[in-house]
Amino acid sequence: MMQTSTSRHFFEDFPPPDDLKHTIRDAEAFVKLNSVKNKNVVLITSGGTAVPMESRTVRFIDNFSTGTRGAASTEYFLAAGYAVIFLHRARSAKPFVRHFPEEKLLDLFVLKEAEGNDTSASAITVKQDESTRLARVLRSYHSASSTNSLLSIPFFSLQDYLYFLKSISDVLGQLRQKSMFLLAAAVSDFYIPSDEMPEHKMQSSEGPPEVRLSSVPKMLPVLIHRWAPEAFIISFKLETDPKLLLLKARKALDTYQHEVVVANILEERRKKVVVITADSETQLEISEEQRGSGQELEDILVQDLVAKHEAFIQSAAGR
């Protein structure tokens, strides 16, 4: 298979991340624990990949992704009873804490000073109008952590992301139909091969660099056909031109023969997606009003995907 040899070359070109062995052990223990509990396990990839321009990376090429789709979907899959491996770009949105942006974090609390100068006796409470929201998020967070249902794995570079994806897929694929992949990360299509990348920081005194990018080998077909051939796999298609979106999403499904492509347009991605399978095309949408009242598109997207996954498991059991 062409892709297999090119994907192998890609991996041979870069060393694995330092903590790969440790991460694989964590993933194995997590999958074992949750499969004993008979849970479905989903790998959610989230955020953008950084493409290093120097091996001792000072500069890198990045993209727009905030990680909100992945972080929000993680919460809804946990609520639906799934165990979640959350493979995310470091410092992008994370489940639970995303509800409390850093710059407003301290506004959640009230400080009541004690009488006199005894600062150790001062009391901190949560503002009345914030406590319901905080309690709701805390409840879900505690439920996920006390049941060991969430494993978070951060990555930074494209290379590290792909190493983690491959290793986790090998482990998760063993759950066969009970495993799901939600590939929401915005993964770079281009990279700089190691023999074209300087080791040290590029010097501005040498003038503007000429950077030649190469295409990243397509990993999706390798994942679908080799790493996790029996899993339920959902990829995302992102476009900026609405005329291309559905055509390209359907083409991806026809080419790779996996279960679902979720199609979205960059600017509309919080409001609308189209869920495409071999025999269906479902538009999911939320209104401005619903968004204003705190509803999220990921809530209905995850419900739809859970139902499709259930049907997939049932049909495999009947074969």
Minimum separation from the CB atom of position 229 to ligand 9Z3 (A): 18
Provide CB contacts within 8 A for 262, sequence distance 6+. Answer: 234, 235, 236, 237, 249, 273, 274, 275, 276, 301
Residue owning tokens 């062995």: 21
Nearer to ligand 9Z3 by Cβ, of 9 and 251: the residue is 251
Minimum separation from the CB atom of position 176 to ligand 9Z3 (A): 23
Interacting residues with ligand 9Z3 (CB under 6 A): 65-69, 183-184, 186-187, 235-238, 264, 269
Provide CB contacts within 8 A for 49, sequence distance 6+. Answer: 63, 89, 155, 157, 158, 161, 185, 186, 187, 188
How far is it, in rounded angstroms, from Cα 315 to Cα 251?
24
List alpha helices for the chain, DSSP H: 2-13, 20-36, 68-79, 128-146, 158-172, 220-222, 242-256, 288-292, 297-317
Nearer to ligand 9Z3 by Cβ, of 70 and 173: the residue is 70
Nearer to ligand 9Z3 by Cβ, of 39 and 296: the residue is 296
The phi, psi pair for 148, rounded to 5°, reads: 55, 45
Quick one: tokens of 172?
A: 């998760």
Minimum separation from the CB atom of position 66 to ligand 9Z3 (A): 4
Nearer to ligand 9Z3 by Cβ, of 7 and 264: the residue is 264
Minimum separation from the CB atom of position 132 to ligand 9Z3 (A): 26
Minimum separation from the CB atom of position 129 to ligand 9Z3 (A): 27
Minimum separation from the CB atom of position 17 to ligand 9Z3 (A): 21
Nearer to ligand 9Z3 by Cβ, of 65 and 169: the residue is 65
Nearer to ligand 9Z3 by Cβ, of 52 and 70: the residue is 70
3-state SS assignment for residue 110: strand
Note whether 282 and 262 are within 8 A (CB). no
Nearer to ligand 9Z3 by Cβ, of 220 and 313: the residue is 220
Note whether 84 and 78 are within 8 A (CB). yes
Helix 2-13 to helix 158-172 angle, to the nearest 10 degrees? 120
**Phi-psi category of residue 259: left, alpha or beta, with phi > 0 → left and psi -120 to 50 → alpha:** alpha
